[in-house]
Every structure is written in structure tokens, then in C-alpha cells.
């Protein structure tokens, strides 16, 4: 898949998804090589970058990126593909990527960050 971000998915996944497969790749975010967590509440947190170990993924020390848009996801083994929609920072739905999607997988989403400004 080349350059991508990694996302650990704590939120609910579609029925039938393997319970031990919660790590995904995406090219829907920019820049690449970051680590994210989708919380049980459906919020996307930036928690680190590719230079850190997975053990350092801590949403309590991360930043809610308030993602708004669609995101394509591929399981780390490459066997499962999903499309997820976030609205004003909250996961609305996630579903399997359909073969007849009206856009290419690599262009499935463009993100819009509304980062909190540091005081």
C-alpha cells in the first residue's frame, strides 16, 4: 500500500469482522506515517507517528483531530476494506467497500482537519 497511516480501531466494526483484527491502513489522511486511534465513542485521535512503537499509542495523550469526511480503510493483512464516514469529528458509519463505488479507492476520501488551536 506504500505510504499510509495506521489506525487502531476501538469503535464497533461491521458484523462478521474478525475480533482480533483491529489495525488498519489508510491513505485518506494527510500527512502519512502517523498513528491514530478511533475510540469506542467514534472519535479519531492522533496519537503518534511512525517513529514510535505501537505500545506508545495512548489516546489520553493524543489529540482529537475532529475529522470530517470519508475514509477508506484496509486491514493490515489486506483482506478487508471498509469505508467510514465521520461527521464533525464523530464516526457516523462504517461499511464494507463496495466493488461499484463511484470513486477510486485511493481517492475515497480527503480529510478536513479542524485542529484545536493551542493557547
Q: What is the DSSP string of 97-115?
A: PPTT-SS-GGGS------P
Predicted local confidence at residue 42, as pLDDT = 96
Mean pLDDT score, 94-102 = 78
Q: Give SS3 for 47.
A: strand
In terms of pLDDT, which residue wins out, 76 or 105?
A: 76
Is it the case that residue 19 has pLDDT exceeding 90? no
Q: How high does pLDDT run on average in the chain?
A: 79
Q: Is the pLDDT of residue 102 over 80?
A: no
**DSSP three-state, residue 18:** coil
- pLDDT, tens digit, for every residue of 42-89? 999 998 876 655 546 666 778 899 999 999 899 988 888 999 999 999
Mean pLDDT throughout 1-29? 88
Query: Is beta strand 81-87 parallel, antiparallel or unpaired with respect to 69-75?
Result: antiparallel
Percent of the chain's residues with pLDDT above 90 = 39
Span of 12-26, 35-49, 102-116 with lowest mean pLDDT: 102-116
Question: pTM higher than 0.85, yes or no?
Answer: no
Amino acid at each position: 500500500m506504500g505510504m499510509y497511516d495506521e489506525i487502531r480501531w476501538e469503535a464497533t466494526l461491521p458484523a462478521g469482522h474478525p475480533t482480533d483484527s483491529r489495525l488498519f491502513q489508510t491513505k485518506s489522511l494527510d500527512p502519512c506515517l502517523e498513528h491514530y486511534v478511533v475510540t469506542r465513542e467514534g472519535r479519531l485521535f492522533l496519537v503518534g507517528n511512525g517513529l514510535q512503537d505501537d505500545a506508545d499509542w495512548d489516546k489520553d495523550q493524543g489529540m482529537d483531530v475532529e475529522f470530517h469526511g470519508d475514509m477508506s480503510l484496509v486491514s493490515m493483512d489486506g483482506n478487508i476494506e471498509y469505508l467510514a464516514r465521520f461527521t464533525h469529528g464523530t464516526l457516523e458509519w462504517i461499511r464494507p467497500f463496495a466493488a461499484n463505488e463511484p470513486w477510486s479507492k485511493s481517492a475515497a476520501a480527503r480529510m478536513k482537519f479542524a485542529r484545536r488551536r493551542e493557547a
